Structure 1
Amino acid sequence: MSRLSEQFLLVLTTLWIGAMWSIGYIVAPTLFSMLGDRMLAGNVAGRLFAIVGWIGIGASVYVLGFLLMRQGWRAFRSWIFWLVVVMLLTTLASQFGIQPLMAQMKADAWPREVMDTVMRGRFATWHGISSVLYLVQSALGLLLILGTRKLLGR
């Protein structure tokens, strides 16, 4: 593989995991603590999580392609390959399953905040599931960063 594709792999994984950690553990909590309007904070955070999701989808497709091009069929025996597959699947589940479901609950609650309606418990459950998936992705991201260093011999 070319040195450029290896460097792009490092930049892309840094962007992906760095964005995930920054948005999830710094920006979103800051929004909720500083903005008086929880609905606005939730909408902004949701939009940022969607952006991180798209970055994750693109980055994971590149990483999987990189591994397949570099290792061929042996990539399927690589723990890094399966780690990225799990990260991609959890991202897809969140992006196209959980997030749209939560957005629909918010829309159905309008003009009130979803937490002020009978959907409160259901929304809280899905928010909790989403948070756990995000935490799993974040931990797997650490393994990906360490594994990428090993993969490239650094």
Structure 2
Amino acid sequence: MARQSGLTGWLNPLLLTFWVGALWMTAITASVLFQTIPDRQLAGQVAGRLFTIVSYIGLGSGLWLLVQRLASEGFSAFKQGLFWVVFVMWVLVLIGEFGIQPLLAQLKASALPNDVMQSVFASRFRTWHGVASIAYLVECLLGVWLVVKSR
């Protein structure tokens, strides 16, 4: 995102750093949770909560960055690669938080009182969890690209 003065001059890079940093820190933390906590259900609950928080950070940060870019650049924002990278990241957050995560929660609820991985829903859960993981990885990598290119 181009250099700007005033509020957006420091707010845009701050929001971008906060969002991308939260993405990567949550990925690392989730890995540590599953390595440290013997109860996989508990580790999954804590990790899920962290991913939800990061999703809302991404929704707010991404929306601000997109709206601000449109307000300052007008329709020429649509010709900028940085705009589209933020947009794709923001869409991935929407898909993950409001599409995939509710599906995973429903599969977990349907498996009760058993763990979803010990139920007939295990295969579907693994598939959708894999899709979510790939989308999250893409978001993380796009975030790194965005941080490098926006300097």
Q: Into which bin does the TM-score normalised by the smaller protein fall? A: over 0.9
Unaligned runs of 5+ in 1: 150-154
Query: Does residue 7 of structure 2 align to residue 8 of structure 1?
Result: no
Which residue among 134, 137, 144 is the counterpart of 2:136? Answer: 134
What code does the residue aligned with 2:14 have? V
User: Which residue is 1:60 aligned to?
Assistant: 62
Q: 2-side partners of 1:112 and 1:32: how far apart?
A: 19
Query: Does residue 84 of structure 2 align to residue 74 of structure 1?
Result: no
After the TM superposition, which segments of 4 or more aligned residues of structure 1 sit over 3 Å from their partners? none
Q: 2-side partners of 1:44 and 1:109: how far apart?
A: 19
User: Which residue is 2:52 aligned to?
Assistant: 50
Q: 2-side partners of 1:12 and 1:86: how far apart?
A: 16
After superposition, where does 1:13-52 map in structure 2 within 5 Å?
13-24=16-27, 26-52=28-54
What code does the residue aligned with 1:12 have? L
| Deviations 1:14-39, CA, capped at 9 Å, x for gaps | 11000000001x10011101101000
Q: How far off its partner does 1:72 sit?
A: 1.5
Q: 2-side partners of 1:57 and 1:121: how far apart?
A: 30
What code does the residue aligned with 1:129 have? V
User: Which residue is 1:120 aligned to?
Assistant: 122
What code does the residue aligned with 1:111 have? P
Q: SS of the counterpart of 2:120? A: coil
Query: Does residue 85 of structure 2 align to residue 98 of structure 1?
Result: no
Q: How far off its partner does 1:147 sit?
A: 2.5
After superposition, the Cα gap between the structure-2 partners of 1:147 and 1:3, relative to the gap in structure 1 and judged at 3 Å, is: farther
Q: How far off its partner does 1:146 sit?
A: 1.8
Q: 1-side partners of 2:18 and 2:6: how far apart?
A: 18
Identity across matched positions, percent: 46
Given the two structures, how large is their TM-score scaled by the length of structure 1? 0.92
What code does the residue aligned with 1:68 have? L
Aligned length: 148
Q: How far off its partner does 1:91 sit?
A: 0.8
Quote the RMSD (CA, aligned, Å). Answer: 1.0
| Deviations 1:107-152, CA, capped at 9 Å, x for gaps | 1112211000011100000000000000100110011112221xxx
User: Which residue is 1:107 aligned to?
Assistant: 109
